[in-house]
């Protein structure tokens, strides 16, 4: 059995005058949410033996804040293919994950992460929440009934957790600054 955890980057700032979307930083709310998610990952005793992440600034900053809350910094493999990747491209990355890795964290962007969860998972209440919305700084964790990553297939995974920042702190919901 393999476990795949997906983390969407935290809320980014549209206020900074930047020339490329890739360089967009987090805003204050995004930083708070990422720290809170890191604390939650620690409280659930989630451990990762492999991390792959988009090298976009907002993802790098998200992970910095998550590690602050988690209490320990873990080094990801930065993969440009994660930047704004489609679900199909992300599944290709899943299929190429190291065999020795049993619990992987992928950190990136929507709509690819949301679509990957919907493509991989079986129907259920948590999946319906993903269909409704996969907000920034949200974690989705799935267990896959496979021993090898290349065997991951559509509609076979079980969604075991879907954690939104607003579930941990209502002030991190969509209606607050």
The hierarchical CATH code for the domain 2-172 is 3.40.50.1240
Mean pLDDT of the chain: 95
State how far the Cα of 65 lies from the Cα of 55, in Å rounded to an integer: 15
Confidence at residue 173, expressed as pLDDT on a 0 to 100 scale: 82
| pTM metric for this prediction | 0.95
- 148 annotated as belonging to a binding site for a ligand: no
SS3 assignment, position 71: coil
Regions of the chain with pLDDT less than 50: none
Confidence at residue 119, expressed as pLDDT on a 0 to 100 scale: 98
CA-CA-CA-CA dihedral for 57, 59, 60, 61, to nearest 10: 80
Cis, bond preceding 111 (omega within 30 deg of 0): yes
pLDDT digits 0-9 by tens, 97-141: 999 999 999 999 999 999 999 999 999 999 999 999 999 999 999
The distance of Cα 70 from the centroid of its chain, to the nearest Å, equals 15
10 Å Cβ neighbour count for 1? 10
Confidence at residue 20, expressed as pLDDT on a 0 to 100 scale: 87
State how far the Cα of 148 lies from the Cα of 99, in Å rounded to an integer: 6
Give, as one character, the DSSP assignment of residue 76: P
Confidence at residue 44, expressed as pLDDT on a 0 to 100 scale: 96
């Amino acid at each position: 059995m393999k476990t795949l955890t997906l983390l969407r980057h935290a809320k980014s700032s549209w206020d900074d005058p930047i020339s490329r979307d890739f360089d967009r930083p987090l805003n204050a709310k995004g930083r708070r949410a990422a720290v809170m998610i890191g604390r939650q990952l620690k409280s659930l005793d989630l451990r990762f033996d492999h991390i792959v992440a988009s090298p976009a600034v907002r993802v790098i900053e998200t992970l910095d804040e998550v590690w602050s809350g988690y209490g320990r910094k873990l080094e990801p493999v930065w993969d440009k293919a994660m930047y704004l990747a489609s679900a199909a491209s992300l599944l290709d990355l899943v299929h190429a994950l190291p065999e020795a890795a049993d619990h992987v964290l992928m950190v990136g962007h929507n709509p690819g992460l949301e679509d990957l969860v919907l493509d991989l998972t079986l129907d259920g209440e948590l999946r319906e929440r993903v269909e409704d919305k996969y907000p920034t700084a949200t974690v989705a964790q799935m267990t896959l009934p496979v021993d090898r990553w290349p065997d991951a297939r559509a509609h076979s995974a079980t969604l075991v957790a879907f954690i939104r920042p607003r579930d941990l702190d209502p002030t991190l919901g969509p209606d607050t600054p």
